[in-house]
Homo-oligomer: A and B are copies of this chain.
Amino acid sequence: MNITDIRTKSPLVLTYANFVTPQFVANVVNVVGASPLMSRELAEFKELAGIANAVIINTGTLQKVEINDIIKLSQEAYQLGKPVVLDPVAVSVPFRSKAITQFLASGHVDVIRGNAAEIAWFADIDFASQGIDATGKGDVIEIAQRAAKKTGAVIALSGACDVVSDGQYTQTLDINVEQLSSIVGTGDALSSLIGAFIADGLKVPNVMNAMATFKLAGQKAATKTNQPGSFTNQLLDELFVIDNIDVQNFVKESVLNHG
């Protein structure tokens, strides 16, 4: 889907959210015209996955007792043909590494959205100790491609240079909007936004479309304010009115295709 389709069809985006940023995430989903829904109750996952168009699993504040729940949620979504986006916040912390390993072994995932350090974990690349420069475009492409091959998922690596890769086909968007990291929750919101964009089919360009929409809105917001408090609201305002033609032009001008 593109932003116009989302406004017309209003896909239902079910997010298993962390407890830090759920309102911002729900607002981002809402302002683009999709419908946000959140739950942590196993007993309703089948019902909710049934009416949802995409399922997002954010492990930013996951607890041990929840690991089986997110596995089950991903399985329900898979059986119902709904795409699953995983947001593995701070996955390199040992407890979280174990939880995500368990999730990958028994659960199902279609897209993994994370920053360079998080995606490097899936690629078995020791991000911190090898001193890989996350701002180097070559590095982040390699990280994303390797992670895609290892997991079988489409990788959405967000940062100064956004990379989307299914292991074979890779797209990059090398435009940095610093303000996007001045506030918390932009990564979480992007993961749920990707859910809306892949509601009618998972392809690398659909995922990149979500990332380009978010980054363009961020770029527009940044021309109006440099400061984090005002930027938060400005970002929501830009997402609310962003024009599909502007997004498509932005993609044409700025997104590069790699093999």
Interface residues of A (CB under 8 A from B): 17-24, 26-27, 30-31, 36-44, 47-48, 51, 60-64, 90, 93-96, 182-185, 227-230, 232-237, 240-241
Q: How many copies does the complex hold?
A: 3
Helix, strand, loop or mixed for chain A's interface?
helix
Partner of A23, one of B36, B44, B64, B184: B184
Closest to A37 in B: B90
By a CB distance below 8 angstroms, the chain B residues around A228 are 27, 30-31, 236-237, 240
Of the candidates B95, B184, B240, the one whose C-beta lies within 8 Å of that of A26 is B184
What chain B residues lie within 8 Å of A24 (beta carbons)?
A: 23
Given B40, B47, B235, which contacts A61 in the complex, CB threshold below 8 Å? B40
The residue among A44, A90, A229, A233 with the most chain B CB atoms within 10 A of its own CB is A229
Of the candidates B96, B227, B230, B236, the one whose C-beta lies within 8 Å of that of A227 is: B236
**Could you write out 5 A-B pairs with CB less than 8 Å apart?**
A20-B22, A26-B184, A38-B60, A43-B95, A230-B237
Shortest A181–chain B CB gap in Å is 9
CB distance from A16 to the nearest CB of B (A): 11
